[in-house]
């Protein structure tokens, strides 16, 4: 894997353009990171609403049952302020047995961003040993979030998985393996396991999560780095569900690291701002992920590097070595505070062992 990352960026970054993301992040934390995302700018700002807006709405195999009140048309499409209730909903048309999803557009966006990444790295703006990171929603996060009838859910998710496998194949064919890192953003999966999604099928959510792991990663070459972001949602600066501790995501990390059919290079776990207590971090003693790097999302702008230091000191009681990150992506923070927030990432990294 080469250099060990002190800092990890989850994916989205609140900049106007991808070039702005690359310049700002490289200047502030370029020596601390191993991979650099393109910021998921524009209508990819909300990682899985992009699927609802761009792929599912208007699809010939589907009916749009509901659009968020904040998104009455495609000119004002952005996601609602309540991910679970005021949101997109779809159903599969009665005449369709199995929906087909073709180009999911993630690979297209990544390939365009990679060309800019490569030029800026060749120019020296991006450090030479930093990879290009692509963050993707797994099938339950991308499709299962929007289909609230069990029969539709059970047909839409495998159809999306089939399309995502093709998407990954395009991605790894276009970007050299030694330049690429792929992250699976498992939000729906985490909330499903926590029992926070009322419409999901009655089958075991752990089995649903496990069933994604090998198909998602089986076509990713070993030279490509892969990781998982375990997420509790990030709408208007709050979780959809506050984690009681790290128990669930530790178990998810163990499952992913040992059942993906290949090496998993990192996992990212959220840490709420108010949790610097032993009880939150104690489940880390049950980690069984081998050499997989753990990044704890313990950086918050509100209490800066000092607050991060307190959480680092507590976490270290249960896990001697780890990297750090924000709690989620940085796409929904106030752009005015973004430079300072990235500086906090760098300052907090100095407290790591």
Neighbours of 76 (CB within 10 A): 10
Which pLDDT does position 323 carry in this prediction? 97
Q: Token digits for 225?
A: 């780095």
**DSSP bridge partners of 295:** 268, 323
Q: What span, in angstroms and rounded, lies between the C-alpha atoms of 222 and 132?
A: 16
Q: Report pLDDT for 244.
A: 94
Structure tokens at 337: 């505070």
DSSP 182-223: EEEEESHHHHHHTT--TTS-SS-HHHHHHHHHHHHHTTS-TT
15 DSSP 8-state letter: -
For residue 346, what pLDDT is reported? 96
* pTM score over 0.75: yes
DSSP state, residue 52 = I
Quick one: DSSP state of residue 175? S
Strand partners, 230: 186
pLDDT in tens, 21-30: 999 999 999 9
And the tokens for 325? Answer: 């990150």
Which runs of E-coded beta strand occur in the chain?
7-8, 35-37, 62-66, 89-92, 131-136, 180-186, 225-230, 266-270, 293-299, 323-326
Residue 74 pLDDT: 47
- Tell me the three state secondary structure of residue 276: coil
All residues at 6 or more sequence positions from 121 whose CB lies less than 8 Å from its CB, including other chains = 127, 128, 130
Contact, 35 vs 61, CB < 8 A? no
Centroid of chain to Cα 299 = 16
148 closest CA partner among 109, 199, 108, 101: 199
Cα–Cα distance measured from residue 252 to residue 232, given in angstroms and rounded to the nearest whole number: 13
Q: Is residue 34 within 8 Å of 2, Cβ to Cβ?
A: yes
Give 122's contacts (C-beta < 8 A, 6+ positions apart): none
* C-alpha span between 245 and 248 (Å, rounded): 8
The parts of the chain modelled with pLDDT lower than 50 are 71-78, 80-81
pLDDT for the residue numbered 73:
47
The CATH topology of domain 7-43+98-349 is TIM Barrel (3.20.20)
* pLDDT of 81: 47
Say if CB 295 and CB 282 are below 8 A apart: no
pLDDT of 202? 87
């Amino acid at each position: 894997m080469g250099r060990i990352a002190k800092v990890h960026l989850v994916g989205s970054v609140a900049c106007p353009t991808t070039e702005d993301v690359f310049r700002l992040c490289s200047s502030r934390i370029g020596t601390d990171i191993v991979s650099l995302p393109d910021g998921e700018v524009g209508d990819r700002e909300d990682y899985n609403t992009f699927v609802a807006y761009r792929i599912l709405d208007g699809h010939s195999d589907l009916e749009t049952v509901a659009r968020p009140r904040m998104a009455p048309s495609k000119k004002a499409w952005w996601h609602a302020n309540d991910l679970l209730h005021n949101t997109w909903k779809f159903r599969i048309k009665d005449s369709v047995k199995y929906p087909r999803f073709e180009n999911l557009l993630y690979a297209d966006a990544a390939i365009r961003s990679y060309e800019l990444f490569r030029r800026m790295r060749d120019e020296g703006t991006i450090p030479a040993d930093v990879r290009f990171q692509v963050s993707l929603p797994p099938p339950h996060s991308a499709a299962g979030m929007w289909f609230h009838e069990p029969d539709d859910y059970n047909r839409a998710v495998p159809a999306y998985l089939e399309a995502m496998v093709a998407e990954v194949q395009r991605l790894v064919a276009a970007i050299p393996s030694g330049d690429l890192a792929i992250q699976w953003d498992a939000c729906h999966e985490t909330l499903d396991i926590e029992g926070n999604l009322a419409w999901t099928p009655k089958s075991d959510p752990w089995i649903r999560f496990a069933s994604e792991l090998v198909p998602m990663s089986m076509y990713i070459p070993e030279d490509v780095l892969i990781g998982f972001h375990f997420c509790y949602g990030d709408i208007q600066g709050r979780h959809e569900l506050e984690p009681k501790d790290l128990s669930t995501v530790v178990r998810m990390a163990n499952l992913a690291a040992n059942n993906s059919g290949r090496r998993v290079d990192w996992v990212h776990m959220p840490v709420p701002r108010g949790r610097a207590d032993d009880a939150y971090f104690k489940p880390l003693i049950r980690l069984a992920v081998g050499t997989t790097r753990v990044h704890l999302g313990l950086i918050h702008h509100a209490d800066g590097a000092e607050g991060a230091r307190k959480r680092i000191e507590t976490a270290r009681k249960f896990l001697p070595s780890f990297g750090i990150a924000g709690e989620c992506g940085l796409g929904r923070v106030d752009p005015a505070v973004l430079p300072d927030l990235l500086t906090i990432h760098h300052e907090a990294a100095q407290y790591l062992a």
